[in-house]
Structure formats: structure tokens, C-alpha cells
């Protein structure tokens, strides 16, 4: 497993030197490969707000210090979830049952209660984690719209564009369920961004386990992946060839993995480690991801302690 040794300067570069990206052309078509726009959205936010990199650098420094001193949350954190449904068609106006199925998946995945948790290979059994964070459905807000797709520029979160503003974003996790388009299943805002856009957007075709959820993204893992970003987790390959996800107990990955890779899948990065393709922060199909690591758990827990960027959610 890799070690994380980053200076403050290196951290600042990590959060500020992102590749600029162009906005994706919206499309309502179903996708065959997982697409998460969290990193691209972050790059756009940094371009619009140069101070965001500094705030994220401070969050990362606090996270690393908290992890190294073991000053982490004991017990469980329960997060109220507000679900904002933006719909044009009957299918997009997803049922309460579909929404609840997603809440159920989050509770299982973040508490090692998912049925496939025991499928984690022996190589990673020592680092597979019970994160110990739970979720409760707080409110569902629905709004009819004429939009065919919303893209990844946070318009679904803004009333001026016909969207829905977040509800109590400093104490509640807001999910926006809509047609995103552009081959994107969902995206999240990392800690440090504006509260006016804080939360997670998920395409209605990839939410939960019933209703309109489409195979191979019909097990609710898109939300698990995106909430991981919302809790300060990076893609496991670090969004670069042999990059860093800032976690010490995950192997270095070449790049994103798709589908359901055969195990063991070896990296060609230094040391040629077996990749943790079943980690929620990879890009595999829903049935191919079923674990967080202890290091990822520590990163998430650091958000909720006193002084953490999501401490307002309460301990």
C-alpha cells in the first residue's frame, strides 16, 4: 500500500492545477460506461473562484493532521437527506419507493451491511471498512420543468434557472435527481465549495434499485460513489495515470476501471500492485463495487470532528 507524504505546497498544487474542461453537451441517452463529473465540476469552480483551492488546501491539511493524531469521530454520524426531484416526464418523477431504495443502499454501503461486502478478496480484508455513517430521508421536494437535461453547471440547484435551491445545506445533504445528460451518471461538490450549490446530483436513471434505475447502474452505487466525493474522497486512481487518491491503504491504480474486471487485476504502476477495483471510488459497474477502505473511512470521519468542514452536521 502507498504512503501519503504531501507538503502544503503539494496539496495546493493538487487542488489548483486541475485540467480545464469544456461543458459536456447534454444528452438524455443511457450510458454504457460510468461517468462522474465531480472532478470536472471542481475544475470549473476553481476557475470561477480562485480562493476555493486555498480552502480545500486548508481542509486537506486538517484532514491529514486529524488522521495522524487519531482525533476522529467515535460512534455514528446520521445525515438527513433532502431529495430534490426535477422532472419533465412521468418517468423522471420517480417514486418514493425508488428514493427510499437509494437511502437503504447508502445505509448498507456505509455500514458494511451490503450483501456483497463479504466478496472483498482476502488481500484487502484487513482494510475493508465499516464507515459507520447513516442516512435518513428528511424531505422530498418535487418540481415540474420543461428542461430535457440539466448538464453539469449546477443549474438544477438554482431557482433562476428553473431548479431547486438546497434546503439547509450546512446540516442536510441535498440530492438533486434529474436528467443530467452528456453521459454523466452523477456528480458531487467536494467540501469547501459554496453552500448554495453543496450536495450531489444524480441522473434519475441511475438512482436506487427499482423504478427507472437502468442496468448496470441499478444497485444504487452511483449515489454511494458521489456521496463519497461529497465526503472528501477522490477517485481511486487520483484522476491521473498512477495518481494519488490521498489514501494510504488503497493500491496505486493505472486509471479508471470499467465493467467488472476479473480478479486479480494488476496495476503497471510502481510495484505492480493488485488494484482494488471493487472500491466504490473506481468506475466499475454497480455490481463490481462493494467496499470502502479504512483510510477512506478516516478521511470521511475527519470532516465531522470539531473544526472539520462538515462539523455542522453534528456528532
CA 213 to chain centre: 18
Active-site residue flag, 40: no
- Tell me whether the omega of the peptide bond preceding residue 72 falls within 30 degrees of 0, making it cis: no
What is the Cα–Cα distance from 304 to 224, expressed in whole angstroms? 18
Nearest to 310 by CA among 67, 84, 38, 79: 79
Q: Which of 139, 105, 118, 83 is nearest to 217 (CA)?
A: 105
- From the candidates 40, 60, 92, 226, give the one annotated as an active-site residue: 226
**Cell reading at 99:** 428514493
C-alpha dihedral (41, 45, 47, 49), degrees to nearest 10:
-170
Q: Hey, CA dihedral for 252, 256, 262, 266, is it positive or negative? A: negative
- Bridge partners (DSSP) of residue 133 are 77
Sequence-distant (≥ 6) Cβ neighbours of residue 266 within 8 angstroms: 272, 273, 274, 275
Catalytic residues: 226
Amino acid at each position: 500500500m502507498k504512503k501519503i507524504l504531501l507538503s502544503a505546497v503539494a496539496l495546493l498544487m493538487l487542488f489548483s492545477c486541475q485540467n480545464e474542461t469544456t461543458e459536456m453537451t447534454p444528452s438524455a441517452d443511457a450510458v454504457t460506461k460510468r461517468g462522474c463529473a465531480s472532478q470536472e465540476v471542481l475544475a470549473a469552480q476553481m476557475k470561477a473562484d480562485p480562493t476555493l483551492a486555498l480552502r480545500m488546501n486548508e481542509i486537506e491539511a486538517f484532514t491529514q493532521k486529524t488522521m495522524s493524531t487519531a482525533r476522529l469521530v467515535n460512534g455514528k454520524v446520521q445525515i438527513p437527506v433532502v431529495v430534490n426531484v426535477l422532472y419533465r416526464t412521468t418517468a423522471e418523477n420517480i417514486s418514493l419507493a425508488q428514493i427510499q431504495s437509494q437511502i437503504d443502499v447508502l445505509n448498507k454501503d456505509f455500514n458494511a451491511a451490503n450483501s456483497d461486502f463479504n466478496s472483498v478478496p482476502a488481500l484487502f480484508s484487513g482494510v475493508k471498512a465499516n464507515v459507520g455513517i447513516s442516512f435518513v430521508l428528511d424531505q422530498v421536494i418535487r418540481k415540474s420543468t420543461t428542461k430535457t437535461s440539466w448538464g453539469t453547471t449546477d443549474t438544477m440547484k438554482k431557482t433562476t434557472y428553473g431548479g431547486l435551491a438546497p434546503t439547509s445545506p450546512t446540516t442536510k445533504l441535498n440530492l438533486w435527481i434529474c436528467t443530467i445528460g452528456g453521459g454523466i451518471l452523477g456528480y458531487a461538490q467536494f467540501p469547501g465549495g459554496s453552500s448554495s450549490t453543496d450536495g450531489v446530483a444524480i441522473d434519475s436513471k441511475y438512482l436506487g434499485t427499482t423504478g427507472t434505475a437502468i442496468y448496470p447502474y441499478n444497485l444504487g452505487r452511483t449515489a454511494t460513489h458521489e456521496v463519497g466525493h461529497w465526503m472528501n474522497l477522490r477517485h481511486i486512481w487520483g484522476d491521473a495515470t498512477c495518481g494519488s487518491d490521498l489514501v494510504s491503504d488503497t493500491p496505486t491504480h493505472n486509471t479508471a476501471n470499467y465493467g467488472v474486471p476479473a480478479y486479480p487485476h494488476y496495476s503497471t504502476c510502481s510495484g505492480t500492485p493488485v488494484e482494488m477495483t471493487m472500491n466504490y471510488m473506481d468506475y466499475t459497474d454497480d455490481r463490481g463495487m462493494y467496499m470502502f477502505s479504512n483510510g477512506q473511512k478516516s478521511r470521511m470521519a475527519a470532516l465531522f470532528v470539531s473544526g472539520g468542514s462538515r462539523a455542522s452536521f453534528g456528532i
